[in-house]
Chain A
Amino acid sequence: MLKDITLGQYFPLDSVIHKIDPRFKIMFTLCYIVLIFFASSPAGYLAVGIFSFLVIKLSKVGFKVVLKSLKPLLFILCFTAVINLFFTGGDTILWQWKFLKITTDGIINAANMALRLVFLVVGSSILTYTTSPILLTDGIERLLSPFAKLGLPSHELAMMMTIALRFIPTLLEETEKIIMAQKARGADFESGNLIRRAKALIPVLVPLFISSFRRADELATAMECRCYRGGKGRTSLRQLRVTSLDWIALGVMLIFALVIIFINLGF
C-alpha cells in the first residue's frame, strides 16, 4: 500500500524527456508552474492539459502512473475544492444554508484551484519521474552554485536531497513492517475518529524515528569510509552537457509560454 505511492519516484526509461538536461528540466518545471497560475480560463487549462498530455506521452511513463501520483493528494484536493466552493463570496448565490453558500464564483474558484493543484502535481511528478534523483540534485546543485559564494550551502542541500530520496522507499518499507508488527499485537489503525487514529500512529512513529537515527549514524560512517568530505573537489560520474535537444525543448517551452500568455491576455 505505502509502496504504491509513486510521487517523487524515478522511472528509468529511455525517452526524449528523460534526455533533457536536468538544469533545463528544472527551469522548465518552474516555468510551467508559474504558467499554470496564468492560465485561468478554460482555454488556458485546455492548453496546459494538451501540453501536459504530450509531455507525459513523450516521457513513456504512462498515464496510469501519473494518475496514481494524484492519489495521496486526493484529500488535500477535495479539501481545497470544498473550502473554495463554500467560502468564496459572490453575488449570484445558487444555494445557501446558514453561513454556507455556493456561488458561481465559488464553483469557478474551486475548479480553478483543483485544476491548478492537479497540474502542479502532474508537472512536478513528471520532473521526478524522468530525472534520476542524482541528476536532479546535480541540476539543483549547479543551478544554485552561483549562490554558493553568498554562503548558500548548495552541495550540502543537494546531498541531503540525494539521501532523502534514497531513503524514502526504505523508510516506507520499514513503516509498513512496523505497522504489520503492531497489528499482529492487536493494534487498530482503521477504526475510530481522526484523533484516535492519529494516536494509534505514535507506536509506529517512535520506532521509526529511533531506527532512522541508527540508520543515519551507520550511513555517516559508511560515507566516511568512502572518503566523503563535503563538496570540495568532488567530481561527478555524469557530466552535464547541453545538447541540441535542450535548445529544442527550450523552444517548445517558449512557444507554450507564449500561447498561455496570449490566451491570458484574451488575444
Chain B
Amino acid sequence: MIEVKDLVYSYIAENSKPEEILKNINISIQKGEFVAVLGHNGSGKSTFAKHLNAILLPMGGKVYIDGIDTSRQEHLWDVRSRVGMVFQNPDNQIVASIVEEDVAFAPENLSVPPEEIRRRVDDALETVGMSEYKNHSPHMLSGGQKQRVAIAGIIAMKPDIIVMDEPTAMLDPIGRREVMKTIEDLNSIYGITIVLITHNMDEAVKAKRVVVIDSGKVIIDDTPRNVFKNVELLRQIGLDVPQATLLAYELRQKGFNIRDDVLTVDECTEEIYKLCR
C-alpha cells in the first residue's frame, strides 16, 4: 500500500531559486490497484514516481510504503525491494549482456541464495513470456522484448508494487501491445499493484483509476470513465483523450444524442450503431 501525505519537493539548482515541482500531493493507493498517472510534460510525474521508492526523498510531507516511512535510511532497501521501477528506455536499465544474468541482478544484490535466484529468474522470464530468450544478448532483442526483460528484472525482486514511468514511450505499436499485455497480466493475474505513468490515453483507459497531475498537484483522481468525460478540462491542461471518447464528444457537440462516457472503440461503435437505428 502506498500512502503519500502532503508531499512537497523542489530540485535544488545552483543559481536559480528553487521552484516547487510537487506541491502538496496527497494520494493513497491500495494493494492490487492499477493506477494510471497522467499529466503534460514537466508536470512532475517522474519526480512523483521517484518518491515512491526513495530515489528522491520528500522535502515536506511523508511517503509511506506498507507503513514504512521512505525517509528512514535503515529501511531504504526494504522500500526499494517492495517498490520496483521501470523506466522509459529499456537500453539504460539493462545491466548485463545476457538476459537471464540481467534478470538475476536484483536478487543478487539482495543476497538471495543461488538456487532461489535461479527459480526467481526462471519464473520472472516465464511471467513476461521471455523464457526462450534467456541466453540471448539484450541488444539483439526488439524494443518491446527488451522492455519485458527490464520488467522481468524487476519482478525477480518480488515487489508488491511496480511503478512504470512511460514504459511504452520508446516502443513501436507491436512492442507497446506486448508490454501493455504484460503489465495488465501482472496486475490481474499476479496481483501486483501497478502505477503506470503514460502519455497514451488508450493505455490509461486500461487502468482502474486515473490520477491527473498538473503543475505538481493532483487535480483529478477518479475512474477512467469519469476522468475522460471532462474533455474540455483535459484539453485545457494539455492532455489528450482516447480517440473513441473524442469522437463521441465531437458527435455530442454536433447535437447527436450519444453517451458522454464512451472509452473504447467497441463502446463507441455500439453507440453510433444505436444512433443509426
Chain A contacts to B: CB under 8 angstroms: 10, 12, 132-134, 162-163, 165-166, 169-170, 173, 215, 218-219, 221-229, 233-239
Report B194 CB to chain A, min CB distance, Å: 16
Report A116 CB to chain B, min CB distance, Å: 29
Residue among A134, A223, A233, A237 making CB contact with B97, cutoff 8 Å: A134
Write 25 A-B pairs (CB below 8 A) sorted by A numbering: A10-B97, A10-B98, A12-B98, A12-B135, A133-B96, A133-B97, A134-B101, A162-B96, A169-B137, A170-B139, A221-B55, A222-B93, A223-B95, A224-B55, A225-B55, A225-B84, A226-B95, A226-B109, A226-B153, A226-B154, A226-B157, A227-B109, A228-B105, A235-B111, A238-B101
Residues B89 and A227 in contact, CB atoms below 8 Å apart: no
On chain A, the residues within 8 Å of B50 by CB distance are 221
Report B63 CB to chain A, min CB distance, Å: 15
Residues B105 and A133 in contact, CB atoms below 8 Å apart: no
Dominant SS at the A interface? Answer: helix
Given A226-B154, A229-B109, A234-B108, check contact A215 B91 (CB 8 Å).
yes
B114 located at the interface, meaning its Cβ lies under 8 Å from any Cβ of chain A in the complex: yes
Report B174 CB to chain A, min CB distance, Å: 20
Report A229 CB to chain B, min CB distance, Å: 7
Residue among B53, B121, B153, B154 making CB contact with A237, cutoff 8 Å: B121
On chain B, the residues within 8 Å of A169 by CB distance are 137, 139
For the complex with contacts A134-B96, A227-B109, 17 further pairs of A-B residues with Cβ separation under 8 Å are A12-B136, A132-B101, A133-B96, A134-B98, A134-B101, A162-B97, A215-B91, A222-B87, A222-B95, A223-B105, A224-B55, A226-B109, A227-B80, A234-B109, A235-B112, A235-B117, A237-B118
Given A165-B97, A166-B96, check contact A237 B91 (CB 8 Å).
no
Residue among B77, B97, B112 making CB contact with A166, cutoff 8 Å: B97
Report A172 CB to chain B, min CB distance, Å: 9
Bound: A239/B108 CA distance, A: 12
B94 located at the interface, meaning its Cβ lies under 8 Å from any Cβ of chain A in the complex: yes
**Most B C-beta atoms less than 10 A away, residue of A163, A215, A238:** A238
Bound: A229/B108 CA distance, A: 11
Closest chain B residue to A163, Cβ basis? B95
Residues A227 and B139 in contact, CB atoms below 8 Å apart: no
Report A39 CB to chain B, min CB distance, Å: 33
Bound: A16/B81 CA distance, A: 38
Bound: A20/B13 CA distance, A: 52
Contact with A along B70-90 (1 / 0, CB 8 A): 000000010011001101010
B15 located at the interface, meaning its Cβ lies under 8 Å from any Cβ of chain A in the complex: no
Residues A166 and B94 in contact, CB atoms below 8 Å apart: yes
On chain A, the residues within 8 Å of B92 by CB distance are 215, 218-219, 222
B113 located at the interface, meaning its Cβ lies under 8 Å from any Cβ of chain A in the complex: yes
Residues A233 and B111 in contact, CB atoms below 8 Å apart: yes
On chain A, the residues within 8 Å of B114 by CB distance are 235-239
B104 located at the interface, meaning its Cβ lies under 8 Å from any Cβ of chain A in the complex: yes
Given A170-B91, A227-B106, check contact A237 B157 (CB 8 Å).
no
Bound: A142/B101 CA distance, A: 17
Closest chain A residue to B113, Cβ basis? A235
On chain B, the residues within 8 Å of A170 by CB distance are 91, 139
Bound: A226/B55 CA distance, A: 11
Residues B80 and A225 in contact, CB atoms below 8 Å apart: yes
B110 located at the interface, meaning its Cβ lies under 8 Å from any Cβ of chain A in the complex: yes
Report B111 CB to chain A, min CB distance, Å: 5
Bound: A220/B87 CA distance, A: 12
**Most A C-beta atoms less than 10 A away, residue of B92, B94, B153:** B92
Bound: A237/B118 CA distance, A: 6
Closest chain A residue to B53, Cβ basis? A225
Bound: A24/B98 CA distance, A: 21
B240 located at the interface, meaning its Cβ lies under 8 Å from any Cβ of chain A in the complex: no
B100 located at the interface, meaning its Cβ lies under 8 Å from any Cβ of chain A in the complex: yes
Closest chain A residue to B106, Cβ basis? A226
Report B104 CB to chain A, min CB distance, Å: 4
On chain B, the residues within 8 Å of A225 by CB distance are 53, 55, 80, 84-85, 154
